[in-house]
A = this chain, B = another copy of it.
Amino acid sequence: MHIDDLDTPFLLVHLDALEENLDRAQAYCDEHHVGLRPHIKTHKCLAISRMQMDRGAMGIVCQKLGEAEVMVDGGVDRDVLIPYNIVGRIKLERLAALAPRTRLTVAADSEYTARGLSEAMTAAGTRVGVIVEVDQGRTGVRTPAAIADMAALIDSLPGLELRGIMIMPSPPSCRPLLQAVLSGLDARGLPHPIVSGGASPCMWTAHEVPELTEHRAGEYPVGGMKHLQVGTHTVEQCAGRVLTTVVSRPGADRAILDAGSKSLSLAVHHDERGGLLGHIVEYPEARLSGASEEHGHLDVSRCDPKPRIGERVEIIPVHPCPTFNEHDEIAAVRGDRVEAVWPVEARGCIR
């Protein structure tokens, strides 16, 4: 199929750029002997997960249990981390059913979560690995002493296997904290086979944090506006884009696209040009200054020539994860050819 035969808006992944991004990250992690654990919450797509595993990823990370179920059902079952507090009877029963099907690890940051996991695993006659998150402002446990206490509790509970810790993000500046946490565990003889760092931009400094056994990264396969800004990706390397059509030119300096917040998400990137909802590849001077649900609002005052009604352009979104979550399918393109249309199997797995 030719790319012109796709209706718009349509989520694209440019295969040449995707493959280069995957190869580049895996080569870096291999060179520095750190495991690459791709976060599938970015693309939510079995086809891309399989490409990551085929290149040597040590396992995957899923933000919700439902994503992990989709991945394991699809054969991406080597090693699965769910860095989330699994709470409540229904989820715990699902977790116990998933545990025997892969090497499964979850996170726990409270006695409530740890005891719930233990009771559910024991009741089901199975086991699950557990790590403790170092609190950096979202979930987790804050001090090295409290982390060691939580790890000791997990280590003592039936049905649980203490597997270490995680931190997010993991820039080189996190080393002193990480060392204090690991010393606290070592002092009490608590094992930590997993020391997991995270965030795509921090991946390229993982070799400066030798305590890490693995790195969790989600966005590196496709990039986004943040990646353009921090320099980890060029425009050409931003493989994930939304193909859209100009449907209106209601004023000399205005253009309206058929991709709004329901195709892009409402994520906003702030730079010297103000708040933007995406980068227009063909018109880098255009400002995607706002969006309603089905309309992208483009300021084309600095464009010469200006986009015409009916013209199709590609948008690099701000944050690929919520953007991919708005789409049921991805067109995998190489040049002008659509090589495949992939379902986004784990889209909407919020439970």
Binding site for B on A (CB under 8 A): 5, 7-10, 41, 63-64, 84-85, 87-88, 90-91, 109-110, 112-113, 116, 135, 138-142, 245-251, 256, 258-259, 261-263, 265-267, 292-295, 297, 309-310, 321-322, 325-328, 348, 350-351
Contacts and interface: CB of A to CB of B under 8 A. Distances in A.
Q: Is the interface of A mostly helix, strand, loop or mixed?
A: loop
How many chain copies does the complex carry?
A: 2
Contacts of A88: 7-8, 245, 310
A124 to B, nearest CB: 17
Given A90-B7, A325-B262, A350-B326, A248 B293 contact: no
Contacts of A250: 109, 135, 138-142
A309 B266 contact: no
B265 A7 contact: no
Nearest to A66: B7
A336 B181 CA distance: 45
Given A7-B90, A110-B309, A262-B325, 7 more contacts: A63-B294, A87-B246, A87-B258, A113-B248, A142-B251, A266-B322, A325-B326
Given A91-B7, A135-B250, A256-B138, A112 B266 contact: no
Contacts of A112: 309-310
Contact of A248 (B9, B109, B351): B109
Contacts of A326: 325, 348, 350
19 contacts: A7-B90, A7-B91, A7-B351, A9-B350, A63-B293, A63-B294, A84-B247, A85-B248, A85-B256, A112-B310, A113-B247, A138-B250, A138-B292, A142-B250, A263-B350, A265-B266, A266-B266, A293-B322, A327-B350
